[in-house]
């Protein structure tokens, strides 16, 4: 086991380069199955969620080769077994994207129910509804989602009951190779949906409207290999933006798409941060104290739920009262308990958190409950007096490449240390 030790009263200063988007990469890797050929993905982040997706591919018979640190060659010509077992699927939500890709290519798939961060119940009914509309039989037996197509995979008109990133991606993958036209209504519009559509189109698919709430997919018989670069990570970028604003820092965040950051930039300005936009970079700095603000998370282009914990940490030290309303997930406030250990004053009632800013946070021993909660604790640790020790950092490694190196480069004193396994007590 490892943990982070983070020194408090830190000011971040300098430049940081953002990598490829986790939530795009974990969809693009299964998408490569749709082509019977070689795909090359560039700007692939070196994170554990990506490793699991690549492992799933190799266990099915795919061939994976790193051409350099961020470029992966994927050859799915030899995929033989359309199955993703529990040992892999249980590690991440995105393992269920293999369903859509395998259905598209093999008309059959068997994928263990996915794992991923615990934000309360995360149903998959909209994925199943979409697959069934395309002509699949879907059953769940012994924890496996089994899909097969008794007749032909056929395009269909699908209205999603909720805006869902996962189901939009999954059904898009299957529909890319269905017969005829599929129309997805009330589709999610996140940047990684657009990125997936662009990748699939570069492989010969015919998908229009990604980035709007109506996506039209004309199914094609054959898809070919392609070389494609993963879109920059909106959430990694946003995390460094919040960290700069929280630490009264001055940081240039590079290799990003400023348009993707608008909902966050707007909120950071309301807290008194200074934002300067460039073509593919944003500079965030602060000289004035942190002002409170209210946030409601929503599907894109609203404020992303994946940046809510980071903002919760920043607002914990504002000079007033802020209200956060979580509009996407059931329960994404598990980090609040840990911030409270550091002196924050936050009351949670269902989907609403009322944050009464405090003058002082103090370093403490805390635990990451999920990926974004983990980085929120790093931000809080920078704002605190004294050292903070953060446990369960494997969550952070799921989505942030070299977070220690990047933060140290900005002047932070953050270290990863080994924690010896605690001895099992035999005392009664
Ligand atoms: N939902 C349903 N039925 C479904 C699917 C979703 O009711 O069949 C509900 C969910 O319960 C949730 C809402 O719809 O309340 C949105 O879920 P969505 O499907 O959009 O989320 P996801 O695909 O499970 C992805 C990201 C999450 C991110 C959410 C929201 C990936 C791999 N994961 O999850 O990312 O929070 O979209 O933007 O893309 C993260 O990166 O830290 C992370 C958790």
205: Cα separation from own chain's centroid = 25
91 lines ligand 1 (CB under 6 A): no
pTM: 0.96
174 lines ligand 1 (CB under 6 A): no
Region 204-221: what's the mean pLDDT? 98
Region 1-13: what's the mean pLDDT? 97
Determine the Cα–Cα distance for residues 181 and 215; give it in Å rounded to an integer: 10
Q: What is the pLDDT of residue 89?
A: 86
Which two tokens mark 197?
């559509």
Q: What is the pLDDT of residue 427?
A: 42
122 lines ligand 1 (CB under 6 A): yes
Q: What is the pLDDT of residue 117?
A: 66
Return the ligand 1 atom nearest residue 117 CA. Answer: 44
pLDDT in tens, 133-168: 999 999 999 889 999 999 999 999 999 999 999 999
Does the pLDDT value for residue 426 go beyond 90? Answer: no
Return the ligand 1 atom nearest residue 23 CA. Answer: 39
124 lines ligand 1 (CB under 6 A): yes
CA of 164 to the centre of ligand 1 (A): 6
Number of neighbouring beta carbons within 10 Å of residue 34:
27
CA of 8 to the centre of ligand 1 (A): 33
Q: What is the pLDDT of residue 116?
A: 67
56 lines ligand 1 (CB under 6 A): no
CA of 166 to the centre of ligand 1 (A): 6
Q: What is the pLDDT of residue 424?
A: 54
Which residue's alpha carbon is nearest to atom 7 within ligand 1?
Answer: 123
Assign 123 a pLDDT band (cuts: 50, 70, 90): confident
Does the pLDDT value for residue 234 go beyond 50? Answer: yes
CA of 386 to the centre of ligand 1 (A): 36
Q: What is the pLDDT of residue 361?
A: 98
Assign 421 a pLDDT band (cuts: 50, 70, 90): confident
pLDDT in tens, 356-368: 999 999 999 999 9
pLDDT in tens, 81-91: 888 888 888 88
Return the ligand 1 atom nearest residue 121 CA. Answer: 11
Which residue would you say has higher pLDDT here, 423 or 145? 145
Q: What is the pLDDT of residue 318?
A: 98
Which two tokens mark 22?
């986790």
The answer to whether 137 touches 148, Cβ cutoff 8 Å, is yes
Which residue's alpha carbon is nearest to atom 43 within ligand 1?
Answer: 306
pLDDT in tens, 288-327: 999 999 999 999 999 999 999 999 999 999 999 999 999 9
Active site residues: 117
Q: What is the pLDDT of residue 120?
A: 67
406 lines ligand 1 (CB under 6 A): no
CA of 165 to the centre of ligand 1 (A): 6
Region 59-78: what's the mean pLDDT? 96
Region 407-421: what's the mean pLDDT? 93
Ligand 1 mutation pick, 25, 96, 123, 165, max ligand atoms within 8 A of CB:
165
Does the pLDDT value for residue 80 go beyond 90? Answer: no
Mean pLDDT of all residues in the chain?
95
**Which CA distances in Å does 20 have to 66, 96, 260, 262, 277?**
15, 20, 14, 19, 20
Q: What is the pLDDT of residue 119?
A: 65
Does the pLDDT value for residue 249 go beyond 90? Answer: yes
Q: What percent of the chain has pLDDT over 90?
A: 89
Query: For residue 255, with 0-12 CB atoms within 10 Å meaning exposed, 13-18 middle and 19 or more buried, which class applies?
Result: middle
Q: Which residues contact 9 (CB under 8 A, 6 or more apart)?
A: 382, 384, 385
164 lines ligand 1 (CB under 6 A): yes
- Name the residue with tokens 């300005």: 269
CA of 413 to the centre of ligand 1 (A): 33
Kindly report which listed range (13-27, 85-99, 240-254, 328-342) carries the lowest average pLDDT score: 85-99
């Amino acid at each position: 086991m490892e943990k982070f030790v983070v020194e408090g009263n830190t000011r971040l200063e300098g430049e940081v380069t953002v990598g490829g988007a986790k939530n795009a990469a974990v969809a693009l890797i299964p998408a490569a199955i749709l082509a019977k050929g070689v795909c090359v993905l560039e700007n692939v982040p070196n994170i554990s969620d990506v490793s699991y997706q690549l492992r799933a591919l190799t266990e099915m018979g795919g061939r994976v080769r790193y051409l350099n640190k961020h470029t992966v060659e994927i050859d799915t010509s030899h995929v033989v077994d359309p199955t993703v077992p529990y040992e892999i699927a249980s590690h991440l939500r995105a393992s269920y994207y293999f369903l859509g890709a395998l259905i598209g290519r093999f008309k059959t798939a068997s994928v263990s129910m996915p794992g991923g961060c615990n934000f309360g119940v995360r149903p998959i009914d909209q994925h199943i509804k979409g697959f069934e509309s395309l002509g699949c039989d879907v059953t769940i037996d012994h924890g496996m989602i089994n899909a097969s197509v008794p007749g032909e995979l056929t395009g269909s008109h699908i209205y999603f009951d909720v805006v869902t990133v996962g189901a939009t991606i999954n059904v898009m993958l299957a529909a890319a190779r269905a017969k005829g036209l599929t129309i997805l209504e009330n589709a999610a519009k996140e940047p990684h949906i657009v990125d997936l559509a662009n990748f699939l189109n570069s492989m010969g698919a015919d998908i229009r409207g990604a980035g709007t709430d109506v996506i039209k997919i004309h199914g094609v018989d054959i898809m070919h290999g392609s070389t494609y670069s993963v879109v920059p990570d909106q959430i990694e970028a946003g995390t460094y933006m919040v960290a700069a604003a929280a630490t009264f820092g001055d940081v240039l965040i590079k290799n990003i798409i400023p348009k993707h950051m608008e909902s966050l930039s707007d909120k950071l300005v309301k807290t008194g941060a200074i934002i300067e936009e460039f073509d593919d970079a944003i500079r965030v700095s602060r000289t004035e104290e942190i002002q409170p603000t209210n946030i409601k998370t929503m599907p894109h282009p609203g404020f992303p739920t994946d940046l809510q914990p980071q903002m919760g940490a920043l607002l914990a030290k504002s000079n007033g009262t802020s209200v956060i309303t979580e509009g996407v997930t059931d329960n994404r406030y598990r980090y609040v308990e840990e911030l409270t250990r550091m002196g924050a004053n936050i009351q949670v009632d269902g989907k609403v958190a009322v944050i009464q800013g405090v003058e002082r946070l103090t370093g403490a021993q805390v635990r990451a409950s999920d990926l974004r909660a983990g980085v929120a604790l790093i931000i809080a640790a920078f704002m605190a007096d004294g050292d903070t020790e953060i446990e369960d950092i494997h969550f952070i490694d799921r989505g942030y490449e070299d977070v220690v190196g990047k933060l140290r480069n900005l002047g932070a004193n953050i270290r990863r240390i080994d924690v010896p396994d605690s001895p099992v007590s035999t005392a009664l």
